Every structure is written in C-alpha cells, then in structure tokens.
Amino acid sequence: MIKALRALYLSGGERASSDVEHILLREFESVTLTCVSSLEAFVAAASAGECDILLADYALPGFTGIDAWAQLEHTEHSVPMVILFTPEIGEAESVDVMRSGVDECLYAEDFHRLGYVVLKLLEVWEARQAKLEADAALVVSRNQLLRLSQQMHARIEEERTAISREIHDDIGGALAAVKFDLAWIARRSADETVKERVSQAAATLQQALDASQRIMVSLRPAILDEGLVPALQWLVQSFQKRTEADVVFRCNKEALNLMPEIQSVAFSVVREALTNVVKHAQATKVVVDLSDQEGVLTVEVTDNGVGLAPKALAKTTSFGILGLRERAQSVGGWLDVSSSGTGVSVILTVPLDDAVLTDDLESSE
C-alpha cells in the first residue's frame, strides 16, 4: 500500500464500480473512484485534471473507449489510461487500442490484476514526469550557463581591449619616447663606450617594443576595429610569412559589418585553426573561406595536413576545441571540427539575424 488513488472510470455498465474499487484497494491505501457513463462527462472530468488514472470500458453505448481517448488532449503530462475489455472483445480490437496510444488494455480474465497494472503505470508515469522536470531544469541551467558565458566572454573581451590599448598608449608610448632619447644620446655622444651601451640599450628596447606588439596582437589586434575581413586578411598574411605555407583567403564580400562579439569569435576560430596547423597538421596548403550568405555567417578553415583520428576529435580534454565551441554558442552559433584522415576542416556557423549591421540598413535611414 503506497498512497491514495483518484480514478476516473467511464463505465459501460458491464462492471459495478464497487468491483473496480475493490480491485484497486488491493494496491492502494485509499481509492476515490468517480464513475461516469457519458462521453461528455468523461472528457470534462478528465480535462479537470483531478485524477491520477483514467479507466474506460472498451464497449460503450454508441462509442468505444478509443473514442473517449481520442477526445482527450494529450500532452507530456497527461495521466495514463487503461481500457478494460469484455470477454467478447478479440485480439484485433486490443491491437487497435494499443496503436491508438492508450497506455494499457486489460482482458476480462486479467481484471484481478487491475490494481497492479495501475500501480506500475503510475510508477512509470511518475518517473517520466521526474525526467521531464529534470530535463526542464537542465534547459534552464544550460540557458543560465550560456548567459553567464556570454557575459564572461564579453567582459573578457572588454578587458583584453582595455589592456591592449593601455599597452599601446602607455607602455608603447613610453618605450617609443625612450627610443628617441637613446637616439638623441647616440647622436650627441663622442664616447664610443657610451655609443656601444646606447646601441645595446636600443636593441633591448626594440625587443621590448616587439614583445608589447605581440602581446597586443594576442590580446586583441587593433585591426579588428577595421572589420573582420581586413583582420583575417592580415592574420592570413602574417601566418603565410611566418610559415611559408600556401594560404588562400576567400570572401564573398569586401567588407562585413558585424557585432564586435561575432568578429572576435570568428577571428579566434581562424587563429586557433591556424595555430593547430603550425603545431600538428604539417600542412602545405590552408584555405580560409568567409561568407554571410542567406543570413548566416560561415567561417571555414581547411588544410591538407595529416588530419585527426576520430578518438582525437572525441577527446573531452581538448579544451581548445571546447573553448571555441563555447564561444560559438555564446553568440548563438556552433562549431564543427571534422577530419577525413587527410586534413582538418573547422567550420564556424553563426545565424546573423539582427547581428549584422549592414550598410544597406544605414543607407536606407
């Protein structure tokens, strides 16, 4: 005995409601049985949502239990229903019942098992409801994590931009001033020892300037302010000079005006893909494709390198790929990484919707 049961029974007069109640009391502590005989009353009572189980005879005056089932609105939270057969009903009718979506049908000779059948149906129903609630909670949690991720990446991007500007304006400016001062000292000093030390200091200073440039580029290239297309052109050219690989950049437009967050994600994906080419791919040719056809931004980086094994793609510890996928999700997109055994393809897809601030919109105002 586990709990009270509220049951709605659509009776065709073949069984007494007291018999049904007696059978149910074998498994339940208490039973509240509402008995109706018309289709309208059954639908109204079932729609009220105040019962745990629906019961119906198959043979009813002018209609069947399946007709009653078909009149109900079925959702994920609908309570289960059992059709009760009379001895005259055969296998064909029972097959029709099960095909209709009714949870269970019970032959007359198995009527004594009604309580057990109802009990098991309710256990399954409760487990299903628990899963639905867990799934709904998971969706809420994922949405919260996505919003948190979006805010986190936005804040990181703001901080990276601010740090990059500070390095450029403050540190870069100070180092440039020192470089001019050293040049001034070198021009006005006749002491060869001083000139040599100045030359050494100038070389060290140049290393510091180069390092600050690399840090600024790593944080956020200033060229991103010019747009994604010129930023990727610069990135591809820099990569080609560094590696002497054959790199092709293709874009269907000369300029794409995108939200800064999308530009940053697309740039990061290409940079990470090119970094992978240098570290692992051993590729001699790389192609970077950029397009915004049909309102979808697509960035694809492919190479002809050694490729990746399926196990490598499935690694949960591949935080580079996981990080890029998370960033893609933060702007409403997704990232696909595939390998045919020879070469790797990295594809970023972002539905643009209102994210693209096109020149057409500006010109139409």
| Contact yes or no for 68/39 (Cβ under 8 A) | yes
pTM over 0.75: no
139-184 confidence digits (pLDDT tens):
998 888 877 877 777 787 778 778 878 887 888 888 889 989 988 9
Q: Which of 219, 235, 262 is the last residue of a domain?
A: 219
Tokens 């008995």 identify what position?
35
Q: Which residue from 91, 64, 88, 75 is spatially nearest to 10, judged by alpha carbons?
A: 64
63-98 confidence digits (pLDDT tens):
888 889 889 988 888 888 887 776 666 667 767 777
Same domain, 75 and 168: no
301-346 confidence digits (pLDDT tens):
998 887 766 665 555 445 467 778 888 888 889 999 888 767 888 9
Same domain, 154 and 202: yes
Residues 6+ apart with CB under 8 A from 42: 8, 10, 36, 56, 68, 71
Please state, for a pLDDT cut of 70, what percent of the chain lies above it.
Answer: 90
Which residue range(s) make up the domain with 266?
A: 227-364
Tokens 């998971």 identify what position?
138
Whole-angstrom Cα distance, residue 71 to residue 55? 14
Whole-angstrom Cα distance, residue 179 to residue 202? 6
Tell me, yes or no, whether 138 lies in a domain. no
Whole-angstrom Cα distance, residue 78 to residue 73? 8
Say whether 137 sits in a helix, a strand or coil. Answer: helix
Q: Which of 200, 219, 238 is the last residue of a domain?
A: 219
The CATH number of whichever domain residue 254 belongs to comes to: 3.30.565.10
Structure token pair of residue 115: 């309580």
